[in-house]
C-alpha cells in the first residue's frame, strides 16, 4: 500500500513536469510563428500597403456605385463597371485636354530656363542677402553634385516604374473588392476563431465606416483646394490654371503634405513667364496651404474623421521612410487603421473604457 502511494506521488511531479514542458514548447512555437508572421509582414509591407490602397479605392468606387444605382435601375455590384468606365473616360479627357498644354509649357521652361536663371541671378546680386546666397551656391562642388543628382534621377525612375506597377495592381484589386465586398469580408472573418468572429466583424465594420467617412472628407478638401488653386492661378495669369488646379486637388489627397508638394509644378510653370510670377505663385500656394490646414480641413474633419495634424505629418514621414512614395500616399488611411486598432483592441478591449475617437 505504501509502495502504491509512493509511486503515485512520484508520477504526479512527472505529470506536472510533462505539462510544463508541453506548455513551454507551445509558447516557444507561438513565439516562432509570431516572429515569422512579423518578418513576413515586414518583407511584404509594400504589397500590404497596396492592398490597403485597393480597399480605399473600393470604398470610393462602391460609394459612387451606390449613388448611380439609386439614379438608374442597376444593382450596386454591376454599377461599379460604369463608374470605372466613367472615371477612366474623365481621366483620359483631362489628359487629352491639358496634357498637350502642359507639355508645351514645360518645353518652353526648358528653353527659357538658362535665361531665367541668369535674370534671377542678376536680381539677387542687387541685395546683400541675394549676394550671400549666390556665394553659397558658387561654393558647391558641381561634379559631385551632378553625380548625386544622376543617382537620384535613376532612383526616381526606378521608384516611378515600381509605383506604376503597384498602381495597376491596386486598381484591379480595388475593382474586384468593390464588386464583391461581402465575399472578401467573409474570407477574412473565416480566419478568426468562431468565438471572436462577431467582435472581429464589428471591428471590420467600424474600420470600413471610418475610412469611408475620411474619404468623403478628403474628397471635399481636394475639391476646395483644386478650386482655390485654379482661381488663384487664373487671377495671377499663370498658364494652364485648370490643369495645375487639378494637380493641386489631386495632391491634396495626402493631408497637409500634398498641397505643398503640388506647388512645384505650378512654380515651374510660372517660371516660364517670369521669376516674379513664380514668387507670387509660391506665395499663393503657401496661402492655400494655410487656408487648407487651418480652415478647410478642421471644418471637414469636424463632420467626418478628426486626425490630429501633428500625427498626420509624422505618419507621412514615418510611412514614407518605411514604404516610400506609396507610404506617403496612404499614410492617413494607415494611421486611421492604427487608431481604430488602439480604440477597439486596447481602450475598449484591455482598459474597458468607451472609445473616444473619431
Q: Evaluate whether 76 touches 66 at the Cβ level (below 8 Å).
A: yes
CA angle 166, 172, 175 (to 5 degrees): 135
**Under 8 Å between Cβ of 58 and 174:** yes
What is the structure's pLDDT at 149? 45
Dihedral angle sign, alpha carbons of residues 12, 13, 18, 24: positive
- SS3 at position 305: coil
Q: Which of 341, 318, 253, 310 is nearest to 45 (CA)?
A: 318
Q: For residue 162, with 0-12 CB atoms within 10 Å meaning exposed, 13-18 middle and 19 or more buried, which class applies?
A: middle
pLDDT at 62 over 70: yes
- What is the arithmetic mean of pLDDT over 343-347? 85
Establish how many alpha carbons lie within 13 A of residue 252's alpha carbon, considering only the half-sphere containing its beta carbon.
30
Q: CA geometry: angle at 99 spanning 233 and 224, to 5°?
A: 40
Query: Smallest Cα–Cα separation from 223: which of 259, 189, 187, 193?
Result: 259
User: What is the spatial distance between Cα 175 and Cα 57, in angstroms, rounded to a whole number?
Assistant: 8
Give the chain's end-to-end CA distance (angstroms, integer).
70
pLDDT at 320 over 70: yes
pLDDT score recorded for residue 67: 85
How far apart are the C-alpha atoms of 121 and 108, rounded to whole Å?
20
Q: How many CA atoms lie within 13 A of 196 on its CB side?
A: 11
pLDDT > 70? residue 50:
yes
Residue 225, all three cell numbers? 483646394
Phi-psi region of 353 (alpha: psi -120 to 50; beta: other; left: phi over 0): beta
**Exposure letters 26-55 (e unless 16+ CB within 10 A, then b):** eeeeeeeeeeeeeeeeeeebeeebbbbbbb
Measure the CA–CA gap between 287 and 295, rounded to whole angstroms. Answer: 11
The mean pLDDT value for 303-327 works out to 79
Give the CA dihedral 34, 40, 43, 44, nearest 10 degrees.
-120
Question: Hey, where are the domains in the chain?
Answer: 46-139+158-348
pLDDT at 43 > cutoff 80 = no
**Taking residues 66-92, what's their average pLDDT?**
85
CB distance 241 to 273 below 8 Å: no
> Which band of pLDDT confidence, cut at 50, 70 and 90, is reported for residue 19?
low
Average pLDDT, integer, range 258-265? 81
pLDDT in tens, 141-152: 544 544 554 455
* Mean pLDDT computed over 116-134: 63
* pLDDT at res. 142: 44
Q: Which of 153, 160, 163 is nearest to 326 (CA)?
A: 163
* pLDDT of res. 192: 85
Give mean pLDDT, residues 43-63. Answer: 83
pLDDT at 105: 62
Q: What is the pLDDT of residues 221-247, one digit of tens each?
A: 889 999 999 999 999 988 778 878 888
**What is this structure's pTM?**
0.71
DSSP letters, 81-101, are: HHHHHHHHHHHHHHHHHHHHH
Considering only residues 127 and 200, tell me which one the structure prediction assigns the higher pLDDT. 200
- Say if residues 222 and 293 touch (Cβ distance below 8 Å): no
What pLDDT score does 232 carry? 93
Q: What pLDDT, on the 0 to 100 scale, is given for residue 146?
A: 46
Q: Is the pLDDT of residue 3 over 80?
A: no
CA distances from 183 to 173, 189, 255, 271 (A): 13, 10, 32, 52
Highest mean predicted confidence (pLDDT) among 68-77, 158-167, 228-237, 290-299: 228-237
Amino acid at each position: 500500500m505504501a509502495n502504491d502511494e509512493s509511486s503515485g506521488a512520484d508520477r504526479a511531479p512527472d505529470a506536472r513536469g510533462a505539462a510544463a514542458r508541453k506548455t513551454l514548447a507551445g509558447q516557444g512555437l507561438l513565439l516562432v510563428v509570431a516572429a515569422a508572421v512579423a518578418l513576413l509582414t515586414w518583407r511584404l509591407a509594400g504589397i500590404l500597403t497596396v492592398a490597403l490602397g485597393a480597399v480605399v479605392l473600393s470604398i470610393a468606387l462602391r460609394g459612387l456605385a451606390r449613388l448611380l444605382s439609386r439614379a438608374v435601375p442597376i444593382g450596386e455590384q454591376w454599377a461599379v463597371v460604369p463608374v470605372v468606365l466613367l472615371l477612366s473616360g474623365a481621366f483620359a479627357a483631362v489628359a487629352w485636354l491639358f496634357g498637350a498644354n502642359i507639355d508645351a509649357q514645360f518645353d518652353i521652361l526648358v528653353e527659357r530656363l538658362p535665361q531665367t536663371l541668369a535674370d534671377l541671378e542678376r536680381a539677387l546680386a542687387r541685395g546683400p542677402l541675394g549676394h550671400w546666397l549666390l556665394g553659397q551656391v558658387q561654393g558647391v562642388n558641381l561634379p559631385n553634385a551632378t553625380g548625386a543628382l544622376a543617382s537620384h534621377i535613376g532612383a526616381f525612375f526606378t521608384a516611378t516604374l515600381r509605383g506604376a506597377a503597384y498602381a495597376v495592381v491596386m486598381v484591379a484589386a480595388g475593382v474586384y473588392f468593390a464588386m464583391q465586398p461581402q465575399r472578401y469580408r467573409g474570407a477574412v472573418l473565416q480566419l478568426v476563431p468562431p468565438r471572436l468572429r462577431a467582435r472581429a466583424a464589428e471591428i471590420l465594420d467600424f474600420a470600413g465606416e471610418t475610412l469611408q467617412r475620411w474619404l468623403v472628407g478628403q474628397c471635399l478638401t481636394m475639391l476646395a483646394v483644386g478650386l482655390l488653386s485654379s482661381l488663384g492661378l487664373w487671377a495671377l495669369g499663370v498658364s494652364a490654371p485648370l490643369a495645375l488646379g487639378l494637380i493641386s486637388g489631386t495632391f491634396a489627397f495626402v493631408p497637409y503634405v500634398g498641397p505643398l508638394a503640388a506647388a512645384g509644378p505650378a512654380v515651374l510653370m510660372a517660371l516660364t513667364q517670369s521669376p516674379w510670377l513664380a514668387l507670387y505663385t509660391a506665395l499663393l500656394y503657401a496661402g492655400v496651404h494655410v487656408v487648407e490646414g487651418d480652415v478647410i480641413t478642421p471644418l471637414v474633419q469636424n463632420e467626418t474623421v478628426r486626425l490630429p495634424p501633428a500625427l498626420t505629418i509624422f505618419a507621412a514621414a514615418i510611412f514614407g521612410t518605411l514604404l516610400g512614395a506609396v507610404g506617403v500616399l496612404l499614410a492617413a488611411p494607415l494611421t486611421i487603421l492604427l487608431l481604430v486598432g488602439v480604440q477597439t483592441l486596447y481602450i475598449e478591449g484591455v482598459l474597458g473604457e468607451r472609445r473616444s475617437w473619431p
